[in-house]
């Protein structure tokens, strides 16, 4: 029995040696799968950048209505009346759906009396902040004037932004610019290495940034002014990076 197993082992060793000799005659042996199966691929990895400037098609305004009263109800009632007047004035320029409340605070006012070491009530303050999205950016100055004339007590700022459709178009354009930049870098590296650039192995987008430019606005610019408030639109910048890996061709 032992002699039979020994003969089988000899046959296996002979067949294995024959397979190795045949494999040595081939230029390359590629094993598919397994821990050691992948043949390393020669690649070039580059990053591409783009910065695309586009004219905005929307504006966002933060309009504040602030009131004070001896009681919470008094402050709230006054604020409600002024806010309704402001909204009514704004609907001449925008749809009501484009006006939304972003903050609403009612809090007591008091000061600290150093003689009694106690707070002294001073009534209540109600603050209502509304965001207005304006699709006609040329009417920003008119909207500000209308809001302040109707009772708005603060304009926190104006931002010129892109609508969803325009932002998508601009992002697509910026993405194409970044990919083109990546290809130019890959071609330059390949030229220096005296190799060719093949197909794309992987590509990914990173560091997308969108820069609307807010404009600070002071109430003293509008209160008492007899002329239309001038507000000039500013461009929006879209910046992004892409990472691309290309095959190397001999």
Mean pLDDT of the region 208-222 = 59
Mean pLDDT of the region 146-166 = 92
Q: Do domains 43-53+167-210+240-249 and 58-161 have the same CATH topology?
A: no
Residue 128: pLDDT over 70: yes
Residue 10: pLDDT over 80: no
* Distance (Å, whole) CA 19 – CA 28: 14
pLDDT of the residue at 214: 62
Mean pLDDT of the region 27-55 = 67
pLDDT of the residue at 248: 93
- Model confidence at 223, pLDDT cuts 50, 70, 90, reads very low
User: Could you state, in order of their start, the residue ranges of all structural domains in the chain?
Assistant: 43-53+167-210+240-249, 58-161
pLDDT of the residue at 116: 84
- Model confidence at 35, pLDDT cuts 50, 70, 90, reads very low
The architecture that CATH gives domain 58-161 is 2-Layer Sandwich (3.30)
State pLDDT tens for residues 61-108: 999 999 999 999 999 999 999 999 999 999 999 999 999 999 999 999
Average pLDDT, the chain: 81
pLDDT of the residue at 60: 94
Find where tokens 């001896």 sit: 70
* Distance (Å, whole) CA 106 – CA 75: 8
* Distance (Å, whole) CA 146 – CA 152: 9
- Least confident span in 153-167, 212-226, 228-242: 212-226
pLDDT of the residue at 8: 37
pLDDT of the residue at 208: 77
pLDDT of the residue at 40: 63
Residue 195: pLDDT over 90: yes
DSSP letters spanning 202-225: EEEEEEEEEE-EEE---GGGTTT-
Note whether 205 and 175 are within 8 A (CB): yes
CATH classification (class only), 43-53+167-210+240-249: alpha beta
């Amino acid at each position: 029995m032992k002699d039979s197993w020994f003969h089988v082992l000899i046959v296996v060793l002979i067949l294995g040696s024959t397979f190795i000799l045949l494999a040595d005659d081939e230029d390359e042996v590629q094993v598919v799968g397994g821990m050691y199966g992948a043949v390393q691929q020669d690649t070039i990895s580059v990053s591409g950048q783009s910065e695309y400037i586009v004219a905005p098609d929307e504006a966002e305004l933060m309009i504040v209505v602030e009131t004070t009263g001896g009681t919470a109800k008094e402050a709230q009632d006054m604020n409600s009346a002024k806010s309704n007047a402001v909204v009514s004035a704004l609907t001449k320029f925008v749809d009501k759906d484009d006006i939304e409340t972003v903050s609403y605070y009612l809090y007591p006012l008091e000061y600290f009396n150093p003689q009694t070491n106690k707070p002294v009530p001073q009534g209540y303050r109600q603050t209502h902040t509304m965001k207005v999205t304006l699709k006609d950016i040329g009417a920003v100055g008119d909207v500000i004037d209308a809001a302040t004339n109707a009772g708005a007590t603060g304009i926190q700022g104006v931002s010129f932004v892109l609508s969803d459709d325009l932002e998508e178009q601009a992002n697509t354009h910026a993405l194409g610019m970044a990919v083109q930049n990546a290809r130019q870098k890959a071609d330059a590296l390949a030229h220096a290495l005296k190799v060719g650039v093949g197909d794309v192995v992987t590509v990914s987008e990173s560091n997308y940034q969108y820069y609307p430019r807010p404009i600070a606005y002071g109430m003293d610019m509008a209160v008492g002014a007899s002329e239309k408030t001038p507000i000039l639109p500013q461009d929006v910048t879209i910046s992004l990076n892409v990472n691309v890996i290309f095959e190397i061709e001999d």
